[in-house]
Structures are given as structure tokens and as C-alpha cells.
Amino acid sequence: MNKKTVRDIEVAGRRVFVRVDFNVPLDQGRITDDHRITAALPTIAYLCDHDAAVILASHLGRPKGPEPSLRMDPIARRLQELLRRPVRKLDDCVGPEVEAAVGAMRRGDVVLLENLRFHPEEEANDPSFARGLARLAEVYVNDAFGTAHRAHASTVGVAKLLPAVAGLLMERELTFLGKVLEAPTRPLVAILGGKKVEDKIGVIRNLLRLAQTMLIGGGMCYTFLRAAGGKIGASLCEADKLDLAGELMADAQRRGVRLLLPVDVVAAQRPSADAAVRTVDARAIPDGWMGLDIGPRTEAAFAAPIAAAGTVLWNGPMGVFELAPFAHGTQAVARAVAESPAESIVGGGDTASAVEQLGYADKMTHISTGGGATLEFMEGKVLPGVAVLMDR
């Protein structure tokens, strides 16, 4: 990683603006998963321990102007519990009152600004709004990898106005994901799932240059199975991506990449927790039935290369893991990755949620906090929120 971090600059006695990703799931004001908050703790603790005044900024949800249900108050309460030090939550993120509160901060103080996206200028990367944020601090730190693919005021605009470096979580993300693209321990096994081929086209193309084995499951596998001549019943299929799927399989063959599709699937007539299920041949799914998970023979076929891998990159569940009848394939892959001696990198979003829910999080080398950002990084794209940070 060639970007400067909080360790490379003087922070003592300085006001430090930290872009964090506290976009956590809420249920009637209660946080249901605080992983994104805990992931930012090392950077916040480092800054506090080194006598900085810490100004935290994040978005929450997708508000269209101020929304009481998306205020940052529950996040401030939870952060205070985790940090074991006071966290003052402010009622806005720009303006004279915010500037006065920040100006009164002492070394080691922590404030959390109100939801950035209450202001439409945030997503528009409005220069005036960025200047308003920049007036609060002397140093900028981006520790929000999950938003680094967005050129917003808090990810790019402020960073152009202040000395800008990476936080410790951002450093970890760039180090582990960067190693996969630049110098993975081989063999590299890429596991790709999720609903749509369209969402993973760039990732597949890029990883075909790097991986020795690619395992494809989830809803996207049925487009590949049909392109390969299989009968997929009522399974999810992107008809406009059939030619592309065929091209990707041909590309894998040309490059000598072993691309494995499911050999059996767990099928049902509807995705429901009480649906009747059958395990059927992946290329002979009956009419009216849809594949909703990989089957036991596929689990075994996928487990073998995972066990022999030097690096495993996993992005996308193997089925509708939220429903018990279709969770076994994702669980089996998670177990195989956890038991493998390989360095294991788990993409964010649904894959991270699945690994957390299934109890395998502590067995993975790195679980990314990014969803779209992780995918774009794995495609080889430059992330605006990373590019703007100072190089070493």
C-alpha cells in the first residue's frame, strides 16, 4: 500500500476529521449489527491516544433531507460504550454551531457529526459544503473503505482541502485486497456468488487473469449453466447475459483457469422457509422448480480446491442463505474456507453478513467492510476516495 496513514503524520493537538462508515442496520432505532463501528475503533483509539481531537463523520441510510429515524444518536451511544469514553453527538455537520462546538474541543475529545446525507450537497460533492466540512479540522483521515468508490464531499472534496491520509481500517483493506491483485499466495481460488452475472462481470474478467480456480454459485450460476446447455427450470437467468457467460467460460478455458459450476442444486418451487425442496442435477432442473442453493456434491467439489488453496477470495453467497432450507451451501463453503490453511479474504455485503451469522468470522483472515467498493477494487478500478489520499 503506497498511501500515507495516520501513523505518518503528526496528530497531537490537532483537530482530525475522520470519514468513517457507520452505515449500520437499524431496527426501530436499535443497531442490529455493529461490525462497521467496531472496525473503526483502532483508528479512533489511535488518534485519541495520540492527543488528537477527533471529529467523526458518516452517512446513515439514504435520506432525502433530514429524517428523524436516520439520526446518528444510536450510533453515538453505541460508540461511547465501545470506546469507553464520552462521545458528543452534534445536531448538524456544518455551520457556525458545529464550528463553535469543534473549536472548544480538547485533546482526546470525540464528537460525531449528524448524518452527512441530510445535506444533498454531500453526494453532489458540492465545493461549498466540502469547505464547510474542511473548516472543522486541520487533518483529514479516510477510514471508510465502503464509501471510497463514491466521489462525495466527505470522501473527495474535503480530502483535497486538507492533508489527507488513510486510517488503519482503510490501510488493512488496501493491504489485503491489494495483495490479491498484485501478489497472491498461489493457487488463488476465487469463489463468486450472488444474484446477477451483471454485478460481477468486471470482477470475473479481472480475476480470470489471476486465479487458478474459479467457483461459481448463487443465483448467477444458472445463467452459466443455461449457457452451457443445461436445463434450469424456473431458476434465475439473465437471458441477455447468456452470450457473455459463454464468452467468460471460453476465456477461462483459454487461460487454463479451472471454472467450476454446480453439479447439483437444492431446488424448490418458491423461495420460502416452508417450501418443499429437492436436490437435483444442476443441468436438469425440472420445469417450475428453481435452484436456490448448491447441493451436497457441489459442496464437496468446491471444498477440494479451497482446501488446497494458497489464497481464497470469496464474494457472494451460494444460495438464499437467509432461508434455512437454502443456507447449507453457503455454510459449507464458509466452513471449507475457515478450515483451509489459505489466506482468506471475504468480500463485504451479503458475504460478510453470511460469515458473521454462521459464526465463522473469526476464522477468516480479512472480512472487507466494502460492498460496491470491494467489487470495484477487485475489478481493478481506481477508487476516488483512495486516489485523493497522499502517497508515501
Select from 190, 189, 195 the least CA-distant residue to 318: 195
Q: Is residue 349 flagged as an active site residue?
A: yes
β-sheet with 188-192: strand ranges across: 258-260, 213-216, 188-192, 311-315, 343-346, 366-367
Four-CA torsion 23, 27, 29, 32, nearest 10 degrees: -60
Out of 19, 36, 71, 78, the active site residue is 36
132 is in an annotated binding site: no
How far, in Å, CA of 346 to CA of 368, rounded? Answer: 6
Out of 14, 196, 283, 335, the active site residue is 196
Residue 243 CB burial class (10 angstroms; 0-12, 13-18, ≥19): exposed
How far, in Å, CA of 329 to CA of 318, rounded? Answer: 6
Going from the C-alpha of 58 to that of each of 220, 344, 378, the distances in angstroms are 32, 28, 24
62 is in an annotated binding site: yes
200 is in an annotated binding site: yes
82 is in an annotated binding site: no
375 is in an annotated binding site: no
Q: Is residue 270 flagged as an active site residue?
A: no
142 is in an annotated binding site: no
241 is in an annotated binding site: no
322 is in an annotated binding site: yes
119 is in an annotated binding site: no
Q: Is residue 135 flagged as an active site residue?
A: no
Cell reading at 223: 445463467
348 is in an annotated binding site: yes
Out of 108, 246, 372, 380, the active site residue is 372
370 is in an annotated binding site: no
Q: Is the peptide bond before 187 cis (omega within 30 degrees of 0)?
A: yes
21 is in an annotated binding site: yes
For helices 35-49 and 168-182, angle between their N-to-C axes, nearest 10 degrees: 120
50 is in an annotated binding site: no
Out of 146, 349, 370, 371, the active site residue is 349
Q: Is residue 229 flagged as an active site residue?
A: no
Q: Residues comprising the binding site for ATP?
A: 200, 291, 322, 348-351
Catalytic residue numbers?
Answer: 36, 196, 349, 372
Q: Which residues are annotated as a binding site for (2R)-3-phosphoglycerate?
A: 36, 117, 150
Q: Which residues line the annotated binding site for substrate?
A: 21-23, 36, 59-62, 117, 150
Binding residues: 21-23, 36, 59-62, 117, 150, 200, 291, 322, 348-351
